[in-house]
Amino acid sequence: MNNFDYKNPTKIIFGKDTIKNLATEIPKDAKILMLFGGGSIKKNGVYEQVTAALKDFQVTEMGGIPPNPEYDVLIKAIDIIKSENITYLLAVGGGSVIDGTKFISAAALYEGDPWDMVMNRKPNTVAIPFGAVLTLPATGSEMNSGAVITRRALKMKIPIGGPALFPQFSILDPTVVRSIPSKQIANGLADSFTHVLEQYVTFPIGALLQDRFSESVMQTIIEVAPKIMADPNDYQAASNFMWSCTMALNGLLQKGVPTDWAIHAIGHELTALYNIDHARTLAIITKSHYTFNFESKKEKLAQLAERVFAIKVGDTESKAIAAIEKIDAFYHSIGIATKLSEYVDEYEGTAELIEEKFTKMGMTGIGENKTLTPENVKEIVKMSY
Ligand code: NZQ
Ligand code: ZN
């Protein structure tokens, strides 16, 4: 097992009817900027619950944060923060709203051009404090310190992060799942499942407990997927779905083990180019990434086959191949297509564009071994057409 530090300061408040606890989590004298998305919270009762809980606070609202939170929209919050003397941010939404709030919290205190803050890749150590009410289980953003910001005009989608970007608290009420469209539930299942893969399908390092944490999260997601797809009102399924998504990317699984994240790095480029939902870009890349890197990943793939997909017969190679097929079948089982050509008509040239982008950004060695070159990435993308 590798050495590691582990600190996660986010308080989780989990369960039915917990949004009202907001009032006790935010300092009484806070001037709050409440941030939300395109309006789902106004249709499903979440907005009413939040405003009722905050009735004794001074609250300014800013809606309109789009999926894949857009820099040009987020930047508008900085003027509001200054003019209203805001001291606390509250994200009410899915990963995009929470990520957008993380960016705003750091950008508001950044001296200089906020885009430089995104591009300089330095950890964010200063930010306005913020909390979250999660409305869409998927990203884990509610309990981690990462965010991904999009600037459509530049066709860029860039991760940021740092110790100041952990929410102070996050409220996870599984009843919010009831109003989520099945397409977004499928996205949450696929995104969280792939988060575990990125921290597990690398090479063996003898981290027995970490492996079993990861396997248990994947098993739970697989078990719960058909139930929550069939009935988002199933509270047991919703609560297991929600907690699995949080556990998949709250930092615990990656401690002491090598991590990959190449699927995400390539996937972000597909969203930047074609606006494909984040989770679906992962489903497009996973099979070809694992096929291309088969030799270095086959032992963990075989372990995944044995322990998660219960494939007990065959040698390492055949089990590893079976695991790749099972992962692809899992995406399909929740209605997610896994080829780029199923999303985009004009896909020729995509691989070369991404190769060029990786070279320009200096991403010349990615994956757990830091050996995947832009040229390799091009091959992986081509295999995903
Ligand atoms: O905007 P509204 O109207 O709220 O609608 C949203 C949005 O259209 C809707 N929605 C959310 N909760 C709902 C609901 N509709 C009905 N009922 C509810 N309860 O769902 C749509 C998608 O929301 P979004 O927040 O974009 O989805 P998700 O949570 O999947 O977030 C995706 C973003 O997170 C980033 C992705 O790259 C992408 O930009 N990620 C963030 C990560 C992190 N911070 O750690 C890691 C991930 O790998 C990922 O990259
Ligand atoms: Zn993801």
Instruction: Please give the average per-residue pLDDT across 318-332, as a whole number.
Output: 98
Residue 185 pLDDT grade (very low, low, confident, very high; cuts 50, 70, 90): very high
Mean pLDDT, rounded, of the chain: 97
Among 127, 150, 176, where does a domain finish? 176
Determine the Cα–Cα distance for residues 88 and 130; give it in Å rounded to an integer: 6
Residue 353 pLDDT grade (very low, low, confident, very high; cuts 50, 70, 90): very high
Residue 199 near ligand 1, beta carbon < 6 Å: no
Residue 93 near ligand 1, beta carbon < 6 Å: yes
Please state the pTM of the whole predicted model: 0.98
* Residue nearest to ligand 1 atom 46, measured at CA: 139
Domain count, the chain: 2
Determine the Cα–Cα distance for residues 149 and 67; give it in Å rounded to an integer: 10
Residue 139 near ligand 1, beta carbon < 6 Å: yes
ipTM of predicted assembly, 2 dp:
0.99
Q: Is the pLDDT of residue 15 over 90?
A: yes
In terms of Cβ atoms closer than 10 Å to its own Cβ (0-12, 13-18, 19+), residue 380 is buried
Residue 249 near ligand 1, beta carbon < 6 Å: yes
Residue 37 near ligand 1, beta carbon < 6 Å: yes
The pLDDT of residue 121 is 87
Ligand 1 mean position, distance from CA 196 (Å): 18
Residues 172 and 185 in one domain: no
Which CATH number characterizes residue 49's domain? 3.40.50.1970
The pLDDT of residue 257 is 98
> Which ligand has an atom closest to residue 148 CA?
1
Per the structure block, which two tokens stand in for 59?
Answer: 């609250």
- Closest atom of ligand 1 to 191 CA is 48
Among 161, 176, 191, where does a domain finish? 176
Taking the alpha carbons at both ends of the chain, their separation in whole angstroms is 37
Q: Is the pLDDT of residue 171 over 90?
A: yes
Among 176, 194, 213, where does a domain finish? 176
Q: Is the pLDDT of residue 256 over 90?
A: yes
Instruction: Please give the average per-residue pLDDT across 21-43, as a whole number.
Output: 97
> Which letter does DSSP use for residue 163 in this model?
G
Ligand 1 mean position, distance from CA 31 (Å): 26
Instruction: Please give the average per-residue pLDDT across 325-353, as a whole number.
Output: 98
Residue 232 near ligand 1, beta carbon < 6 Å: no
The pLDDT of residue 209 is 98
Residues 167 and 198 in one domain: no
Residues 165 and 237 in one domain: no
Q: Is the pLDDT of residue 360 over 90?
A: yes
Residue 1 belongs to a domain: no
Range of the domain at 166: 11-176
Render pLDDT for 109-166 as a digit per residue (tens, 0 to 9): 999 999 999 999 899 999 999 999 999 999 999 999 999 999 999 999 999 999 999 9
The pLDDT of residue 210 is 98
Instruction: Please give the average per-residue pLDDT across 43-53, as a whole number.
Output: 98
In whole angstroms, what separates CA 333 from the centre of its chain?
21
Residue 6 belongs to a domain: no
Residue 49 near ligand 1, beta carbon < 6 Å: no
Determine the Cα–Cα distance for residues 236 and 255; give it in Å rounded to an integer: 29
* Residue nearest to ligand 1 atom 29, measured at CA: 95
